[in-house]
Amino acid sequence: MNRIPTTRLVVKREVAERLRSRLIWVMTALTTVFVVAIIVIPAVVRQPAKPTVVGLVGSSAQALGPALRTTAKAAKVDIRVVNVANSAMARSEVKNGSLDIALSVGSDSAVAEVKQTLSPAMAALLEATVDKGHQRRVLGEAGVPLSTVLAASAPVPFSTTALEPPPSDRAARDIAALAAGFLLYLSLGLYAAAVANSVAQEKTSRTAEVLLAAVRPSQLLNGKVLGIGVCGLGQLGIAVTAGLIANAAVQRAEIPSTIWLLLPAILLWFVLGFALYSFANAAAGAMVARQEEVQFVTLPIGMPLIVGFLLTYGAIASPDAWWIRVLSFLPPLAPILMPARLAFGHAAAWEMPVAVLIMVASVYGMARLAARIYAGAIVRGGARLSWSTALRLRGE
């Protein structure tokens, strides 16, 4: 007799039945499309930044052209300067969009006309150029030699040294952190809920009673968690692989340098997070009397997932904040926050292994607690059990 170990049989059934369902294929397709979309869409819709077109109206303004170009170059502002014959023409071009700014300079005043608003940086650039022109004219009229005037108004080389420079791929890391957070939030939420529903279905349809005549509760529970987890990991693996292929296809320059650490981390934290949440959900699913009660009993368990995802935004704003660091070690939040911190590149080398160890210990504790509740509650008839009653039940 070639007997297959019981837990493996339960895993096989869970996987086979789930793969037979259309829902898993739809969800896999949607998750994969989501991951590919957040990589491909920005690359497709991204357009190169256009220079600001400044129209210089009249000879006084046009005389400032070289100085404006020099100042803009020193300030690293991309502009294109064109001469315009008169105010009416300049105004018309601003209105139709061929000019961004029309600059007119009088003897003691200057006017910049724009369609709607002028950025502070651009306003400061124009003001500095107009002031420089004014100084040259006044000094020239006072008899100061031209060479002295030019030397006095030449830009002084100015540089900035950042003591803690942000990574050059900061924006890409932010997107990667958000995408990882969302993907984990979605996958953990969906698959942990699937465990609760499946346990509740076996209980309410009384299938558990027939199964437990041949299978120990721990074998049934572990097999179910493993089987559904394998499906979730497969789905996430397909989505992540598709994301990598899409990334290679569009050849984005913005691929964050942390990606090679982040991708396996997503899969690792899915496994750990799924184990924690699914054991908790299995216990909750075994406590219900009717299938409709599953959502109610699992709602408090799923709340940390939502909090974890929302905290990802906080982590983007201040990745070094002490409270983000502390929260990322808490087992219910770690599966989302730790990969996000990894995406930012702000997690120290020791933090990830320590967080994993804390998580593994929590999963072990949760698995034992869930096994105890499950064994007592799964064949118990009557009304929905409270947590305190479920904890008092005798297990296998």
* Binding flag, residue 50, another protein (CB under 8 A): no
The only residue of 98, 135, 207, 318 in contact with another protein, by rule CB under 8 A: 207
Q: Kindly state the smallest distance separating residue 388's Cβ from another protein, in Å.
A: 15
Q: Both ends of the chain: CA-CA distance in Å?
A: 27
Q: Kindly state the smallest distance separating residue 205's Cβ from another protein, in Å.
A: 6
| Tally of residues, the chain | 396
* Binding flag, residue 16, another protein (CB under 8 A): yes
The only residue of 126, 215, 246, 293 in contact with another protein, by rule CB under 8 A: 215
* Binding flag, residue 388, another protein (CB under 8 A): no
Site for another protein in 360-379 (CB under 8 A): 379
Contact 99, 86 (CB under 8 A): no
Instruction: Give ∠ CA 301-341-170 in degrees, rounded to 5.
Output: 135
Between 76 and 394, CB nearer to another protein: 394
- Residue 354 backbone dihedrals phi, psi, to 5 degrees: -65, -45
- Choices 67-75, 210-218, 277-285, 319-327 (CB under 8 A): range interacting with another protein: 210-218
Between 2 and 251, CB nearer to another protein: 2
Nearest to 239 by CA among 186, 285, 291, 277: 186
Q: Kindly state the smallest distance separating residue 166's Cβ from another protein, in Å.
A: 53
* Binding flag, residue 6, another protein (CB under 8 A): yes
* Binding flag, residue 17, another protein (CB under 8 A): yes
The CA distance from 142 to 136, in Å, is: 10
Residues ≥6 apart with Cβ < 8 Å to 57: 84, 85, 86, 87, 90, 102, 103, 104
Q: Kindly state the smallest distance separating residue 192's Cβ from another protein, in Å.
A: 21
Q: Tell me how crowded residue 203 is: count the other CB atoms within 10 A of its CB.
A: 24
Q: Kindly state the smallest distance separating residue 235's Cβ from another protein, in Å.
A: 20
The CA distance from 384 to 381, in Å, is: 9
Residue 51 is which amino acid?
A: P
* Binding flag, residue 290, another protein (CB under 8 A): no
- Specify the residue for token string 């989505």: 239
The CA distance from 14 to 305, in Å, is: 24
* Binding flag, residue 385, another protein (CB under 8 A): no
Question: Interface with another protein by CB under 8 A: which residues?
Answer: 1-4, 6, 9, 13, 16-17, 202, 205-216, 379, 394, 396
